Chains A and B, each alone.
Chain A
Amino acid sequence: MRAGRKLLNDGHSRSWEGTLALTEKNQRPSKVARAVSGAVLLVAGLVISFFAWGYPTGSLNQMGPGFIPQTIGVLISLLAVAILIVDLGDPELERPGAIQLRSLCFVSAGIIIFAVLVDRAGLVPSMFLAVGVSMFADDQSKPLTVLIYSIIAAGLGWLLFLVGLELPIPAFWRW
């Protein structure tokens, strides 16, 4: 959404990621880079087809549970091949946006911590840790701000979910 301003200033009808890629201009993606998205999709389609072929197909007027999954698997594979052909034939393809590893790692870590702890330690500690860890996704966050913010967030979460909505989740395990 935020990159939208760039889009509007440029007046291009490209995607936002496209405008980002424009800033790293003139580096055309290699053949391998262009093939990535189609290839991954093709693998997905083949995997789906592989499993779907184990299900009973039935016939057209008496379809089994495997009929549609098989069709879908084949369809995805065909579309993936089409995407591969289009992408490989277009040397001016937009470069994929760079992956923001820092944010990917810390946001994932926050969610995983929540998932692992919520059944064991209860809602409040897991909220506190999830918020605290995920805040480091922003490279300018300082430990003290994070600590204060996480305490506030856990408090608000406790008020909203346990006091307000009365969700049946223990606040602290066995306390």
Chain B
Amino acid sequence: MLDQFILGLSVVMQPNVLVYAFFGVFLGQLIGVLPGVGAITAISLLLPVTFYLDATSSMILLAGIYYGSQYGGSIASILLNLPGTPSSVVTCLEGYPLAQSNRAGLALFVAAFSSFLGGMVGVAILVLAAIPMTVIALKFGAPEYAMLVIIGLLAASMIGAGSQIRSLAMVVLGIALGLVGADATTGYYRFVAMPELADGISLVSLAMGLFGVSEVIRHASRRPARGAPPLSVNMRDVIPTRAQAKSLIFPIMRGSSIGSFFGALPGTGAAIASFMAYALEKRFSRNPEKFGKGHLPGLAAPESANNAASQTGFIPTLTLGVPGDAVMALIIGALILNGIIPGPRLIVDQPELFWGVIASFFVGNIILLLINIPLIKIWVLLLRIPYQKLYPMILLMICVGVYSHRTSVTDVLLTLAFGVLGYLMKNYRFEPAPVLLGFVLGPLLEDNFRRTMLLYGGDFTIFGTRPISAILSICSVILIVWAIWSGLSQRRKTARDTMKRNTLTSPR
């Protein structure tokens, strides 16, 4: 294991690869700082660029953007009370009160350091789990893959934000969009409304439309009452005291474990991990009343959780080829576009790529810790750029990026269509992330399901009789039951609340 990790380090330490690792995490941090530009937008913007790079460098670059944005997201949360990324929403709860009481430097330091520790725990677990997971994954046949994809899709719609049934509908819609084009087995054209669609809908168009264009439309004309400009950073009391540091050890350990768990689970990711870590920290704290007023453990736990999750998220992605969330789906898409099929064979066929990417996380986290605090003045400056000066450039990057990908005007127009769709969807409480996940996983599901049915003569019981797939089937049943149960109890609770409210407000 250590040998392989050293092999990976030797790959990353080549100057031309190191440049991409640095560029990736730097860009990720920058993207994370800027509210309104997410890791998904940034990664889809860079997808066309990766065609000019080798697979290892492009993976290192794109992955760096992803976990780098987790670091950057906390900066906007602490200084502006605006989460830069979905996973740093809870960071605002403790980080902003700290900044308000003139302890922004301390908050930034604690956030950066717990992010670093969380990230390192995540990398360690990734290194330890990689080979055992691959051994299991090599036993996977078509039925196991089909079940695993189903679990991933179910988990994404059951646990994620928003209504479960709506997310599930979006997953299925994503699968439907993935069907467009020639059928992989028979070559039969499906849903090809115009000849340009024969190769299917481009992942770049879909991602940039749903996440890039729709956000531009949403924010271009909205000038929020943006309170005070970013709080100034007091750089004197940056380092926590010994007592403070001591009080953070266990929250960071708990946060990292929660993060590692939810990251590795297909369908859940950094955002859910950070919410869970915060909730748990509050529940088990001896003084829960301190939360929400700048309590350091409440800042450290979710920050370590989201970074641990963004590293362990690569376990299913790299060993099984099944992405855990929408960002991972994009990274898998990039790999496939580079001609590499992710899956258990990756570690055997391309050890330099596999271990190089993992080692780059190790190096990248160190770079992030080093550039985070010294460059704080630059991040504060970035926070002062209004979105109105930013979005035309984002739009320009989207247009040129999509066009240059396949030199296709249709792709640009499709991007606009998906942008409008994404915008309207969100207005009606449909989340766009499950669409992307369904789009990437759909073909995988269809392929493996059809192969299963072909191999086992259309017998559904095969999902229950093969040991690994039986376990996976039980998991998905549990997921469904849990989702229905929690959905029902939620509804009963809101019904009770409204009843209580009505009786309270009713005239005496």
- A interface residues, Cβ below 8 angstroms from B: 1-5, 7-8, 15, 17-18, 36-37, 41, 44, 48, 51-52, 55-56, 59-69, 72-73, 75-76, 79-80, 82-83, 86, 92, 94, 96-97, 99-100, 102-104, 106-108, 110-112, 114-116, 118-119, 123, 126-127, 130-131, 134-135, 137-141, 149-150, 153, 156-157, 161, 165, 167-169
Interface contact A139-B392, CB-CB below 8 Å = no
Bound form: Cα–Cα A157–B396 in Å: 8
Picked from A44, A104, A116, A123, the residue with its CB within 8 Å of the CB of B420 is A104
Bound form: Cα–Cα A68–B419 in Å: 26
Instruction: List, in ascending order, chain A residues with CB within 8 A of B423's CB.
Output: 104
CB distance from B215 to the nearest CB of A (A): 8
In residues 61-111 of chain B, which contact A (Cβ within 8 Å)?
A: 80-84, 89, 92-93, 96
Interface contact B83-A1, CB-CB below 8 Å = yes
Bound form: Cα–Cα A134–B38 in Å: 20
Interface contact A96-B392, CB-CB below 8 Å = no
Instruction: List, in ascending order, chain B residues with CB within 8 A of A52's CB.
Output: 190
Instruction: List, in ascending order, chain B residues with CB within 8 A of A7's CB.
Output: 89
Interface contact A82-B165, CB-CB below 8 Å = yes
Bound form: Cα–Cα A79–B222 in Å: 33
Interface contact A79-B172, CB-CB below 8 Å = yes
Interface centre among B93, B216, B403, by most chain A C-beta atoms within 10 angstroms, is B403
Interface contact A65-B185, CB-CB below 8 Å = yes
Bound form: Cα–Cα A115–B399 in Å: 8
Interface contact A72-B179, CB-CB below 8 Å = yes
Interface of A is mostly: helix
Instruction: List, in ascending order, chain B residues with CB within 8 A of A97's CB.
Output: 426-427
Interface contact B388-A86, CB-CB below 8 Å = no
CB distance from B196 to the nearest CB of A (A): 12
Q: Is B450 on the interface with A (CB-CB < 8 A)?
A: yes
Interface contact B409-A115, CB-CB below 8 Å = yes
Interface contact B92-A65, CB-CB below 8 Å = no
Instruction: List, in ascending order, chain B residues with CB within 8 A of A60's CB.
Output: 453, 458
Instruction: List, in ascending order, chain A residues with CB within 8 A of B217's CB.
Output: 100, 103-104, 107, 137
Interface contact A123-B224, CB-CB below 8 Å = no
Picked from A73, A100, A115, A127, the residue with its CB within 8 Å of the CB of B218 is A100
Given the known interface contacts A60-B453, A83-B169, the answer about A37 and B430 at a Cβ–Cβ threshold of 8 Å is yes
Interface contact B179-A96, CB-CB below 8 Å = no
List the 7 closest A-B pairs by CB distance, nearest first.
Answer: A60-B458, A61-B458, A65-B188, A137-B220, A65-B183, A37-B428, A79-B169
Instruction: List, in ascending order, chain B residues with CB within 8 A of A108's CB.
Output: 416, 419-420
Bound form: Cα–Cα A141–B223 in Å: 12
Interface contact B221-A102, CB-CB below 8 Å = yes
Instruction: List, in ascending order, chain A residues with CB within 8 A of B96's CB.
Output: 8
Interface contact B221-A5, CB-CB below 8 Å = no
Sample of 25 A–B contacts (CB below 8 Å): A41-B173, A44-B173, A51-B191, A59-B458, A65-B190, A69-B176, A69-B190, A72-B176, A76-B173, A76-B176, A79-B172, A100-B217, A100-B220, A107-B213, A107-B419, A110-B399, A115-B403, A118-B412, A123-B400, A134-B391, A140-B223, A150-B392, A167-B404, A169-B404, A169-B407
In residues 378-402 of chain B, which contact A (Cβ within 8 Å)?
A: 387-389, 391-393, 395-396, 398-400
